A = this chain, B = another copy of it.
């Protein structure tokens, strides 16, 4: 192909040092391009042996897919994931990325660790599984119980087995369940009107997912299976944010956070026994932020006492867990839609407790998962950095804060980037405009992750790596970027 040749020429002209005898204009140009690309993530990586051949193949395929995208304007990263997943799955670049080692995947929620297909095709077949479509929203939720649970405000419970038997084809029934829980729709742009709209379906998803995941007999299996899926997709390690939700038994008994943590740790140990080439997983205890706030209202008065007391007890719990399970608990986070819930500033005194009492508790905050520069959601970034967060989730606004960018580089705080999450939750449409593009070209530390991938049917890591490599990074970014990202995530 002529375009392959041309691309090689472009690459050569971009990366080579000025050649003796080159006209001064072209020489200055090559120097400027050289200087510029030397900042990019991966530019200092050296490829070895066979990696050169892989890179040649990777870049040939990348160029072909870009050329095709330029012709059709249907370039996958510029189009919604739901509408391009099928074509990504056929992509040659994706095939290479799929089999590559991806290092550590560091921003994953427990209620998306395992895919929906497994939950439905394995868990809902177990005895004692009841289901209902909620009266308000129509999303399906499940309950394991000894006998048919009594109807309640939200539900008339039916045995899944009976419901399934009413269908000629069990597969059709299972697909119906999966479609009900998943966010995937044919025309996401029009179906989800705005960020709040997609978040309301996202909340339904959590309710459905957790109703299966929180059953005591399921949780360990699901955690193990999730780790297996990540391992199969090239992850060497997974760090999982969990609210440590109350596990329930067949008779309705529920247990506390430490019981849940114990269940997960056992699953992790079983997994490590079976997969000795894996580094397994750790858990970030993630407190769900419960108090909705007035828009832009930053509480500086004493009316916030009740919620602060609860948060204080959760931070104390996190400190205990971190000391008691040093090999399994890595730290603490607060999660929820930032534009609607209390900012970190609300809890600044509680969040200083560990450092004030000389107890170590690493923080891994979500911050600035918002398009509103200068809002209190955006300013969570300032607090995350002041509170010495080890990594920060999303941080869409970081590129708009020069002083914070310096801090991220100086303190080596990576941003956890989940490309598809940002698209599905309507922060971006065309991923080529994702702010991580700026971070990669300037060499700020980032790690790639899949967030709540089960909600949108993405693979544990490969789809997000594909979107980043093809859409967020430069056209010229090559294997060196992917290698750097994997190395950084492990470090």
Which residue from chain B places its CB closest to the CB of A36 in the assembled complex?
Answer: B403
Cβ A67 vs Cβ B476 within 8 A: no
Which of chain A's residues 408-428 have a Cβ closer than 8 Å to chain B? 427-428
A423 to chain B, nearest CB (A): 11
Which residue from chain B places its CB closest to the CB of A434 in the assembled complex?
Answer: B433
Which of chain A's residues 177-200 have a Cβ closer than 8 Å to chain B? 189-190, 193-197
**Does A9 count as interface, using CB distance less than 8 angstroms?**
yes
**Does A47 count as interface, using CB distance less than 8 angstroms?**
no
Which residue from chain B places its CB closest to the CB of A433 in the assembled complex?
Answer: B433
Q: How many chain A residues have a CB neighbour from B under 8 Å?
A: 78
Bound: A379/B345 CA distance, A: 42
Of B189, B295, B404, the residue contacting A71 (CB under 8 A) is B295
- Known pairs A29-B382, A382-B29, A382-B32; A433 contacts B428 (CB<8 A): yes
- Known pairs A26-B348, A295-B70; A39 contacts B402 (CB<8 A): yes
**Does A432 count as interface, using CB distance less than 8 angstroms?**
yes
**Does A400 count as interface, using CB distance less than 8 angstroms?**
yes
Of B66, B194, B296, B437, the residue contacting A67 (CB under 8 A) is B296
- Known pairs A371-B78, A386-B32, A432-B373; A294 contacts B2 (CB<8 A): yes
Which of chain A's residues 1-27 have a Cβ closer than 8 Å to chain B? 2-3, 6-7, 9-10, 13-14, 25-26
**Does A297 count as interface, using CB distance less than 8 angstroms?**
yes
Which residue from chain B places its CB closest to the CB of A34 in the assembled complex?
Answer: B403
Of B36, B73, B294, B300, the residue contacting A402 (CB under 8 A) is B36
Cβ A441 vs Cβ B386 within 8 A: no
- Known pairs A373-B432, A441-B373; A194 contacts B73 (CB<8 A): yes
Cβ A371 vs Cβ B433 within 8 A: yes
With A29-B382, A32-B404 already in contact, 19 other A-B pairs whose C-beta atoms are closer than 8 Å? A3-B296, A9-B300, A14-B379, A26-B348, A29-B345, A29-B348, A29-B383, A32-B403, A36-B402, A39-B402, A63-B296, A66-B372, A70-B372, A371-B432, A399-B399, A402-B442, A427-B433, A435-B438, A438-B438
Identify the A interface with B (CB < 8 A).
2-3, 6-7, 9-10, 13-14, 25-26, 28-29, 32-33, 35-36, 39, 63, 66-67, 70-74, 78, 189-190, 193-197, 294-298, 300, 339, 345, 348-349, 352, 371-376, 378-379, 382-383, 385-386, 399-404, 427-430, 432-433, 435, 437-438, 441-442, 473-477
